[in-house]
């Protein structure tokens, strides 16, 4: 029988997603040829990646930092991607942070 995990985003993770969206929009506004689909595709990739957490969170790599229960989901996108930091607590997956891989503090 397959375990179904409940995925919850902490306020910090929701704030990270908003910050990433704001940054993507600002980047497109500054572009001479904005491509609004890029922003939507990035968030579709993150959303699709996080679906994995509801049925197979243990396939993600262990995080370097944390208490031993922390894991990282790598979401490829373009030349880089995103990192979703989460913990598995029983049948719950708690997402604590979402970072772009090129951010200096993406491991925190």
Q: What is the pLDDT of residues 29-81, one digit of tens each?
A: 888 898 889 889 999 999 999 999 999 999 999 987 666 679 999 999 988 89
| The predicted structure's pLDDT at residue 20 | 93
Which domains can be identified in the chain, with CATH numbers?
6-100 (3.30.2310.20)
State both tokens at 64.
């370097």
Whole-model pTM over 0.75: yes
Return all residues near 17 (Cβ < 8 A) that are at least 6 apart: 9, 43, 46, 98
pLDDT band at 104 (very low <50, low <70, confident <90, very high): low
């Amino acid at each position: 029988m397959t375990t179904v995990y409940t995925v919850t985003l902490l306020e910090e993770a929701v704030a990270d997603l908003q910050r990433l969206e704001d940054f993507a929009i600002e980047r497109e506004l500054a572009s001479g040829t904005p491509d609004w689909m890029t922003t939507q595709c990035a968030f579709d990739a993150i959303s699709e990646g996080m679906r994995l957490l509801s049925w197979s969170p243990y396939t993600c790599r262990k995080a370097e930092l944390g208490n031993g229960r922390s894991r990282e989901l790598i979401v490829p996108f373009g030349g880089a991607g995103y990192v979703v930091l989460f913990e598995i607590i029983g049948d719950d997956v708690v997402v604590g942070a979402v970072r772009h891989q090129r951010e200096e503090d993406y491991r925190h």
